[in-house]
């Protein structure tokens, strides 16, 4: 949050300064510049030295924004890199001969190369720890022939039935070669296995790569993989390997062909042969959109054939994903439902309930942080019974709600408040300067405000009666435009709400006001009265003799007048 606030405070938005859209034409930019020049040109305020000083500062920003946006090359650089891109030495000289489109393409290419170099300079560790738990004694107690049915043991037996650890690390060797060291160990019912492999991937061209690997597990392992782009919509990869065991050499082969079916869909055809898993042919269809992810597959082979369907609903506003899956085959049937919740920028938790025949009921918990994951599958029951399904569903949900309310939410609130206080303290002087500049801007606008308001009143056009900007009162849906805002209530820091009647009226043109989809704190005469908080703009205005009022969130565009803003007369 600190970096975001600092960037907002230190860098002006040229489009907001002129109140024009990012698609504005040269004529619209020229018109906006002339309009603001009439308000802020220093020569118009030469009789008052104090006003003239502020006018020179504000007009300098307006002129700077105009010079950038009216020059197609500078505008392209600004759109791509922001204000800092214009300050790079030699940038304009290098790109003066290129078109704006070529500038954007060149920047994207350089950005990709920087990302590649950054990845090449750092390792990429990945790991998964799986802890399998057998808790079937909770719902169906097991007795063997040596146990008595009269056993009065109260505490159920819960045991760790298996564990596996997988870890790998990528080591960039050159720009085209990356080596990977990976290993895994696992134990199941007292029997353990493990393997270590080393591979090297060579980027042969932009269309493909090759990889060789060797290792040792249950005997030496050697393998070869290859990826190749066949066309713009199709690619092919395959891999083959040999495992040398005490019983002989075990070969394996895997090949996948993929085709882009449309903008959101991909089809896969995979063939597997040899190894420990038998041979099979699998056809997969995957569709990914903004709100849904669908995956369906059909497999025919040995030892099992199956049909599967996986549907995921994405809820980006809640940082959550809901999942529902079905799988039916020669092994039996499985139904699965679950949810994944993002708890921070790089970590997430998920829970899923699997109901299967003959596998029974299983609860699968997962925690992921960056590239590390911990998975805990808990086998609750060997048969599908209602009590096991109920507890597998409700216990994780209730646990998450309690954890969120008692621990995560207080920590998040405390962190947000701490970051906000730190940001306010670090940028206090800058915020004070923004307040002074906004108030000076309003002083410079008063003459223009009186002229525009008189013109609008004469033709019964758009007259701004009151406009307030800032944080809404607790539980309120709009600011109280009938009560004066006390901007001196907090002399040691920014206030919560500011009066922006004069700037809003000055932005009116021909009985029409249009504010863009961006933070209104960057408009002339505005400033951010509560950094880091949600802000709204409430406007009470008169149009054709009728009163209107509206409230919009900070980043939402606003166009006045609107008939649905009208306040109906009461008898």
- For residue 338, the model assigns a pLDDT of 95
Statement: residue 484 has pLDDT above 80: no
Q: Find, among 18, 44, 60, the residue nearest to 509 by Cα.
A: 18
Determine the average pLDDT of the residues in 35-43: 87
Phi, psi of 130 (to 5 degrees): -115, 125
Distance (Å, rounded) from C-alpha 224 to C-alpha 175?
21
Statement: residue 153 has pLDDT above 70: no
Helix (H, G, I), strand (E, B) or coil at 476: coil
pLDDT digits (tens, 9 = 90+) for 502-526: 999 999 989 999 998 888 988 888 9
Q: Which residues make Cβ contacts (< 8 Å) with residue 569, sequence separation at least 6?
A: none
Distance (Å, rounded) from C-alpha 381 to C-alpha 141?
10
Instruction: Judge whether 539 and 549 are in contact, CB under 8 Å.
Output: yes
Statement: residue 297 has pLDDT above 90: yes
Statement: residue 404 has pLDDT above 50: yes
pLDDT digits (tens, 9 = 90+) for 45-54: 878 888 888 8
Distance (Å, rounded) from C-alpha 272 to C-alpha 252?
8
Give the CA-trace dihedral at 47, 48, 54, 60, to 10 degrees: 10
Domains of the chain: 12-70+427-565 (1.10.287.110)
Distance (Å, rounded) from C-alpha 513 to C-alpha 562?
10
Determine the average pLDDT of the residues in 310-333: 93
Q: How far is CA 406 from the centre of its chain?
A: 26
Instruction: Judge whether 465 and 481 are in contact, CB under 8 Å.
Output: yes
Per DSSP, the residues of 134-162 read E-GGGTS----TTS-TT----SPP-EEEE
- Give, for 542, the enclosing helix (H) or strand (E): strand 536-543
Determine the average pLDDT of the residues in 321-338: 95
Determine the average pLDDT of the residues in 93-98: 48
Per DSSP, the residues of 54-109 read HHHHHHHHHHHHHHHHTSHHHHHHHHHH-GGGGGSTTHHHHHTTS-HHHHHHHHHH
Q: Find, among 290, 283, 225, the residue nearest to 254 by Cα.
A: 225
Statement: residue 161 has pLDDT above 70: yes
Distance (Å, rounded) from C-alpha 24 to C-alpha 518?
15
Determine the average pLDDT of the residues in 53-72: 88
- For residue 180, the model assigns a pLDDT of 92
- For residue 426, the model assigns a pLDDT of 65
441 versus 346: which is more confidently predicted? 441
Give the range with max mean pLDDT: 105-109, 206-210, 350-354.
Answer: 350-354
Determine the average pLDDT of the residues in 18-40: 89
- For residue 10, the model assigns a pLDDT of 44
Please confirm whether the linkage preceding 561 is cis (ω < 30° from 0). Answer: yes
- For residue 253, the model assigns a pLDDT of 93
Statement: residue 174 has pLDDT above 60: yes
Determine the average pLDDT of the residues in 224-229: 94
Instruction: Give a three-class secondary structure readout of 222-270.
Output: EEEEEEEEEECCEEEEEEEEEEEECCEEEEEEEEEEEEECCCCEEEEEE
Determine the average pLDDT of the residues in 233-239: 93
Distance (Å, rounded) from C-alpha 505 to C-alpha 464?
6
Phi, psi of 137 (to 5 degrees): -70, -15
Q: How far is CA 370 from the centre of its chain?
A: 14
Distance (Å, rounded) from C-alpha 502 to C-alpha 79?
30
Statement: residue 491 has pLDDT above 80: no
pLDDT mean across residues, the chain: 84
Distance (Å, rounded) from C-alpha 243 to C-alpha 193?
15
Q: How far is CA 492 from CA 320, 412, 489, in A?
A: 41, 26, 9
Phi, psi of 502 (to 5 degrees): -65, -50
Q: Which residues pair with 127 in a beta bridge?
A: 167, 372
530 versus 376: which is more confidently predicted? 376
pLDDT digits (tens, 9 = 90+) for 347-393: 899 999 999 998 899 999 999 988 889 999 999 998 899 999 999 99
Statement: residue 544 has pLDDT above 50: yes
pLDDT category of residue 457 using cuts at 50, 70 and 90: very high
Do you know the residue count of the chain?
571
Q: Which residues make Cβ contacts (< 8 Å) with residue 314, sequence separation at least 6?
A: 290, 291, 292, 293, 321
């Amino acid at each position: 949050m600190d970096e975001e606030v600092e960037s907002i405070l230190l860098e002006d938005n040229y489009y907001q300064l002129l109140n024009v859209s990012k698609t504005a034409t040269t004529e619209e930019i020229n018109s906006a510049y002339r309009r603001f020049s009439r308000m802020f040109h220093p020569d118009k305020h030469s009789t008052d030295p104090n006003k003239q000083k502020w006018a020179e500062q504000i007009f300098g920003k307006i002129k700077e924004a105009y010079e950038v946006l009216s020059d197609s090359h500078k505008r392209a650089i600004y759109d791509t890199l922001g204000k800092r891109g214009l300050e790079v030495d030699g940038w304009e000289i290098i790109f003066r001969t290129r078109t704006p489109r070529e500038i954007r393409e060149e920047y994207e290419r350089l950005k990709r190369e920087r990302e590649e170099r950054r990845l090449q300079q750092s390792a990429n560790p990945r790991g998964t720890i799986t802890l399998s738990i057998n808790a079937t004694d909770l719902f169906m107690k097991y007795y063997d022939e040596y146990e008595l049915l009269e056993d009065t043991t109260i505490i159920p037996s819960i045991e760790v039935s298996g564990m596996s650890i997988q870890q790998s690390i990528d080591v960039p060797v050159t720009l085209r070669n990356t080596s990977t060291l990976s290993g895994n160990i696992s134990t199941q019912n007292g029997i353990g296995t493990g393997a270590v492999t080393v591979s090297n991937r060579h980027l042969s061209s932009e269309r493909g790569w090759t990889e060789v690997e060797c290792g040792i597990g249950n005997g030496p392992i050697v393998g070869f993989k290859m990826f190749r782009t066949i066309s713009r919509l199709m690619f092919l990869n395959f891999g083959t390997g040999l495992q040398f065991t005490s019983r002989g050499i075990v070969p394996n082969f895997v090949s996948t062909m993929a085709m882009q079916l449309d903008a959101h869909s991909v089809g896969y055809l995979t063939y597997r042969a040899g190894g420990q898993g038998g041979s099979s042919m699998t056809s997969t269809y995957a569709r990914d959109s903004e709100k849904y992810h669908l995956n369906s597959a059909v497999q025919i082979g040995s030892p099992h054939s199956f049909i599967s369907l996986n549907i995921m609903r994405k809820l980006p506003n809640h940082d959550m994903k809901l999942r529902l899956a079905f799988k039916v085959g020669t092994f039996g049937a499985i139904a699965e439902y679950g949810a994944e919740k993002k708890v921070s920028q790089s970590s997430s938790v998920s829970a899923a309930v699997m109901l299967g025949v003959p596998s029974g009921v299983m609860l699968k918990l997962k925690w992921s942080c960056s590239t590390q994951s911990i998975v805990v599958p808990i086998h609750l029951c060997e048969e599908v019974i209602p009590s096991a399904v109920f507890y597998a569903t409700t216990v994780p949900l209730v646990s998450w709600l309690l954890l969120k309310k008692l621990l995560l939410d207080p920590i998040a609130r405390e962190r947000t408040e701490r970051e906000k206080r730190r940001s306010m303290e670090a940028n206090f002087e800058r915020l004070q300067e923004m307040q002074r500049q906004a108030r000076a801007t309003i002083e410079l606008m008063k003459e223009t405000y009186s002229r525009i308001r008189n013109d609008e009143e004469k033709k019964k056009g758009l007259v701004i009666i009151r406009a307030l900007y800032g944080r809404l009162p607790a539980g309120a849906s709009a600011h109280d435009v009938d009560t004066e805002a006390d901007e001196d209530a907090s002399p040691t820091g920014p206030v919560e709400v500011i009066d922006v009647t004069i700037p809003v009226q000055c932005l009116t043109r021909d009985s029409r006001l249009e504010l863009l989809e961006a933070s209104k704190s960057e408009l002339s005469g505005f400033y951010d009265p509560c950094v880091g908080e949600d802000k709204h703009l409430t406007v009470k205005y008169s149009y054709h003799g009728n009163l209107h009022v509206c409230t919009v969130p900070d980043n939402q565009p606003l166009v006045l007048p609107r008939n649905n803003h009208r306040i109906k007369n009461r008898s």
